[in-house]
């Protein structure tokens, strides 16, 4: 039996990574939509879309992800990150559709020194994290058949991300200053895409909130060093503290996620970040 899967945010890197994996899933039929094809801030438009399309699963990849811009563009951030998931959840509930929603490590303040699990207290530091948390709470209020998957430091061959930014900057700079006192885990978006599709193909009913990233811990500075090392690019990289690189939005200083629950409940494996970075860089060239 073929399952119809709605993918929102089709122009983003995660949805593009799902497209890359399509061929591995012949029993899934994908419907991709961007914001002009399906406006998640418009409940009527969503209801009409669900009425006119047969949908079994929805993966919500749509998000407002401009962390610093969100500090001033607050209304839009909440429209996309809170209202959008709420509208989707209501439509999914009414049409018996299972929802997978992608969230973020930014729902935490980074004050812990051990990996965050799904039960840890949320305490976002800025508008982006707060809007994403409100989206999670909106889904929980509306429905039961959902998976919320929080992830961290996403990068891939597609879209805008840290890996591609570093490689671009290396073309015009002999030296870069990179923040060294924020640590987390880089996550290859293609691995996350595979994990989300595995949730669907396993047809699990172990609903709830999950954490998914690659394995290991690193800083932005060491992540940059690894990108240049693997790419064999000669460039000087200087470690600097966050206070020397002020941004409108405060970042969590520690955002490593505990993946035990997703491994045990959904039998999803997580791979070491540096090995996956090698794969991503190889796929770029």
Smallest CA-to-CA distance from 126 within 250, 242, 256 is with 250
> What pLDDT score was predicted for residue 245?
87
Residue 75 contacts by C-beta under 8 Å, 6 or more apart in sequence? none
Determine, yes or no, domain membership for 41. yes
- Rounded to 5 degrees, φ, ψ at 31 are -120, 115
Secondary structure class of 236 (helix, strand, coil): strand
DSSP 56: S
Beta strands in the chain (DSSP E): 3-8, 28-33, 57-60, 98-104, 146-151, 154-155, 175-179, 183-184, 187-188, 208-211, 218-219, 236-240
Q: What is the pLDDT of residues 254-263, one digit of tens each?
A: 999 999 999 9
Give me the CATH number covering residue 22. Answer: 3.40.50.720
pLDDT at 148: 98
Q: Is residue 244 part of a domain?
A: no
Domain-located, residue 79: yes
- Note the pLDDT of residue 170: 96
- Is 228 within the bounds of a domain? no
Residue 23: domain span: 3-161+186-215+256-271
pLDDT of residue 20: 96
pLDDT value of residue 1: 83
Closest by Cα among 243, 11, 280 to 155: 280
Is 128 catalytic? The answer is: yes
| Per-residue model confidence as pLDDT tens digits over 10-42 | 999 999 999 999 999 999 999 999 999 999 999
Residue ranges of the chain with per-residue pLDDT less than 70? none
pLDDT at 285: 80
Catalytic residue (one of 64, 128, 188, 212)? 128
pTM: 0.96
Number of domains the chain is built from: 1
Using the structure block, give the residue that is written with the tokens 């090995």. Answer: 275
> Per the domain annotation, does 110 fall within a domain?
yes
Does residue 229 form part of some domain?
no
Count CB atoms within 10 A of the CB of residue 61: 26
The answer to whether residue 168 sits within a structural domain is: no
Residue 143 inside a domain? The answer is yes
Alpha-carbon span 89 to 140, nearest angstrom: 9
């Amino acid at each position: 039996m073929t399952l119809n899967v709605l993918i929102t945010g089709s122009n983003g890197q995660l949805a593009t990574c799902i497209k890359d994996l399509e061929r591995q899933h012949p029993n899934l039929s994908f419907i991709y939509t961007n914001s002009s094809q399906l406006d998640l801030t418009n409940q009527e438009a969503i209801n009409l879309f669900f009425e006119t399309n047969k949908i079994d699963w929805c993966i919500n990849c749509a998000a407002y992800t401009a962390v610093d811009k969100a500090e001033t563009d607050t209304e839009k951030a909440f429209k996309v990150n809170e209202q959008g998931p709420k509208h989707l959840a209501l439509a999914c509930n009414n049409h018996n559709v299972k929802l997978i929603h992608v969230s973020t490590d930014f729902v935490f303040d980074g004050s812990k020194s051990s990996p965050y699990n799904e039960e840890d207290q949320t305490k976002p530091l800025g508008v982006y994290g707060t809007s994403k948390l409100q989206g999670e709470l909106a889904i929980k209020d509306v429905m039961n058949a959902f998976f919320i998957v929080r992830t961290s430091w996403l990068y891939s061959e597609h879209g805008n991300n840290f890996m591609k930014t570093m490689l671009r900057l290396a073309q015009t700079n002999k030296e870069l200053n990179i923040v060294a006192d924020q640590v987390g885990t880089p996550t290859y978006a293609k691995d996350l895409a595979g994990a989300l599709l595995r949730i669907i193909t396993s047809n699990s009913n172990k609903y709830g909130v999950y954490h998914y990233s690659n394995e290991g811990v690193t800083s932005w500075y060491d992540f940059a060093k690894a990108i240049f090392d693997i790419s064999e690019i000669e460039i000087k990289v200087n470690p600097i503290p966050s206070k020397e690189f002020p941004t409108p939005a405060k970042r969590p200083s520690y955002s490593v996620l505990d993946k035990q629950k997703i491994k045990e409940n959904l039998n999803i494996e997580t791979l070491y970040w540096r090995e996956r970075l090698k794969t991503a860089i190889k796929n770029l060239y």
